[in-house]
């Protein structure tokens, strides 16, 4: 798993790994049903989410856990996931 290698190379502490794992599980639970119904590969999407969390996690020191989780969710879903009328 690429995410495990990224964690190892990123120098995250055990506490960081626990916090990042919690974000992974929370965001996954909030977003997976709709994404899986669209025919996306579950394992690939979870790996992509983990990669986003790790990349963003390196620079989260000044954010609250809720702010970080929100930023992760936005990055994971991307603008293309929002309905067209939501931008109006």
Which runs of consecutive H residues, i.e. helices, occur in 1-88? 2-10, 14-37, 42-57, 65-77
Question: What is the rounded distance in angstroms from the CA atom of residue 88 to the CA atom of residue 86?
Answer: 5
3-14 residue pLDDT tens: 666 776 777 888
**pTM assigned to the model:** 0.75
Q: How confident is the model at residue 82 (pLDDT cuts 50, 70, 90)?
A: very low
CA angle 34, 16, 47 (to 5 degrees): 35
pLDDT of 67: 93
Q: For residue 19, is pLDDT > 60?
A: yes
Q: Which two tokens stand for residue 52?
A: 């986003």
């Amino acid at each position: 798993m690429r995410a495990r290698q990224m964690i190892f190379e990123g120098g995250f502490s055990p506490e960081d790994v626990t916090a990042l794992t919690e974000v992974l599980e929370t965001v996954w639970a909030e977003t997976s049903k709709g994404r899986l119904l669209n025919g996306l590969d579950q394992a690939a999407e979870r790996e992509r989410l983990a990669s986003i969390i790790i990349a963003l996690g390196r620079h989260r020191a000044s954010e609250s856990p809720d702010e970080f989780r929100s930023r992760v969710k936005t990055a994971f879903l991307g603008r293309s996931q929002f309905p067209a009328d939501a931008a109006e």
